[in-house]
Amino acid sequence: MSLQSDIAIQNSMGHAGHSFVTTTAAQAGNWSGIQVVTPTVISSITGAAGCVVSGVYSGTTLPAGFFIPGKFTSFTLVSGVVIAYIDRT
């Protein structure tokens, strides 16, 4: 298995850790995915270099269990609780 495949698998399994986010303060970092714990509204989300984030998140309630894959550098909640998985970079 290649190193890149190994890193991708580890990211998908939360190998580098996670943050349990319950605040509406901006969350800056290197994230490999966001798991919605309770119904959540996201006001903004920024993709890392090479990760296109399109569409409107603001005003859309994401249901518990919803997962947003990708590489992100920041996001901000309006309401709800998420687990943000730290990207192994």
CA distance 86 to 71: 9
Please tell me the predicted confidence (pLDDT) of residue 33: 93
Tens of pLDDT, residues 58-85: 789 999 999 999 999 999 999 999 999 9
pTM above 0.85, yes or no: no
Residue 19 in tokens: 């943050």
Q: Which amino acid is at 87?
A: D
Confidence check: pLDDT of 15 > 70: no
pLDDT at 79: 97
What is d(CA 18, CA 67) in angstroms, rounded to the nearest whole number?
14
